[in-house]
Structure 1
Amino acid sequence: MIKKRIFGFLFILSLVLLTSSCDQNNKSTKPRSIGNTSEILVVLDSQKQWDNTIGKTIRTYFEQEQYGLNQVEPIFKLAHISKQNFSDLFKKHRNILIVHIDPKIEKSKVESFEDLWSSPQQIINIHAPNNRAFVSTLNENATAIIDKYNLAERKRILSVFRPSSRNKVSSEIAETFQLKMTVPSGFFMAKNESDFMWIRKEANEYSQCIFIISEPYKDTAQFSTSSIVARTNRFLEQYVPGDQRDSFMQIDEEFVIPQGKIIENFVSGYAIELRGLWNVEGDFMGGPFLSYTFLDSRSNKIVTLHSYVYHPNKKKRDLLRQLESILYSTQFTK
Structure 2
Amino acid sequence: MKFQTIFKLTFFFFLSITITSLSSCSGEKDAEKTFSYRDFLPPSKGGRGEILLQMDSSKWEGDLGAAVRELYMAPMPGFPQPAEPIFKLYHAAPKKVNDLLEEYHSIFVILSLESKTIDSDILRKKFSKESLDRIAADTTPYLIVKKDVNAKNQQVVYLIGKDDEQLIKHLQANEEKLREIFYKTERRRSYLVAFRGGEQTGRMERYQKEHGFKISIPQGYQEAKDINEQDSGFVFLRMIDNANGRDRNVFVAYKPYTSQKQLSADSVLAWRRELGEAYMKDPDRGSYMTDQTDVIPYFSQEINFKGSYAIEIRALWKLTSNTSGGPFLGYLIVDETKNRLYYIEGFIYAPTHKKRDYIREVESILWTFEP
SS for the counterpart of 1:42 is strand
Residue from 90, 110, 113 that aligns with 1:99: 110
Bigger mean CA deviation after superposition, 139-148 or 170-179: 170-179
Contact 1:249 1:279 in 2 (8 A): yes
Q: Report what 1:246 is aligned to.
A: 286
Supply the distance in 2 between the matched residues of 1:131 and 1:211 (Cα, whole angstroms): 46
Q: Report what 1:6 is aligned to.
A: none
Contact 2:190 2:364 in 1 (8 A): yes
Contact 1:161 1:183 in 2 (8 A): no
SS for the counterpart of 2:328 is strand
Q: Report what 2:188 is aligned to.
A: 155
What is the CA deviation profile of residues 88-143 of structure 1, one whole-angstrom value per residue up to 9, with x for unaligned ones?
A: 21111111110112236333211111222112122111112222222122223332
Q: Report what 2:260 is aligned to.
A: 220
Cα shift at 1:167: 3.4
Supply the distance in 1 between the matched residues of 2:193 and 2:75 (Cα, whole angstroms): 27
Summarize the Cα distance change of 1:29–1:181 in structure 2 as closer, same or farther, 3 Å threshold. Answer: farther
The unaligned stretches of length 5 or more in structure 1 are 1-25
SS for the counterpart of 1:234 is helix
Cα shift at 1:51: 0.9
Alignment TM-score, normalising by the size of structure 2: 0.78
Cα shift at 1:30: 2.5
SS for the counterpart of 2:237 is strand
Q: Report what 2:355 is aligned to.
A: 316
Supply the distance in 2 between the matched residues of 1:29 and 1:173 (Cα, whole angstroms): 40
Q: Report what 1:73 is aligned to.
A: 84
| Largest Rg, 1 or 2 | 2
Q: Report what 2:6 is aligned to.
A: none
RMSD of the alignment, in Å?
A: 1.9
Bigger mean CA deviation after superposition, 284-293 or 129-138: 129-138
SS for the counterpart of 2:207 is helix
Contact 1:124 1:145 in 2 (8 A): no
Alignment TM-score, normalising by the size of structure 1: 0.86
Are 1:296 and 2:330 matched, yes or no?
no
SS for the counterpart of 2:308 is coil
Are 1:205 and 2:245 matched, yes or no?
yes
Task: Count the aligned residue pairs.
Answer: 305
The unaligned stretches of length 5 or more in structure 2 are 1-36, 115-132
What is the CA deviation profile of residues 204-251 of structure 1, one whole-angstrom value per residue up to 9, with x for unaligned ones?
A: 321110111111111111121111111111111011112543210112
Q: Report what 1:181 is aligned to.
A: 215
Supply the distance in 2 between the matched residues of 1:321 and 1:167 (Cα, whole angstroms): 22
Supply the distance in 2 between the matched residues of 1:324 and 1:56 (Cα, whole angstroms): 29
Structure 1 segments (4+ residues) deviating >3 Å: 26-29, 159-163, 166-169
Q: Report what 2:364 is aligned to.
A: 325
Contact 2:302 2:312 in 1 (8 A): yes
Code of the residue aligned with 2:155 in structure 1: it is: Q
Cα shift at 1:144: 0.9
Supply the distance in 1 between the matched residues of 2:262 and 2:298 (Cα, whole angstroms): 15
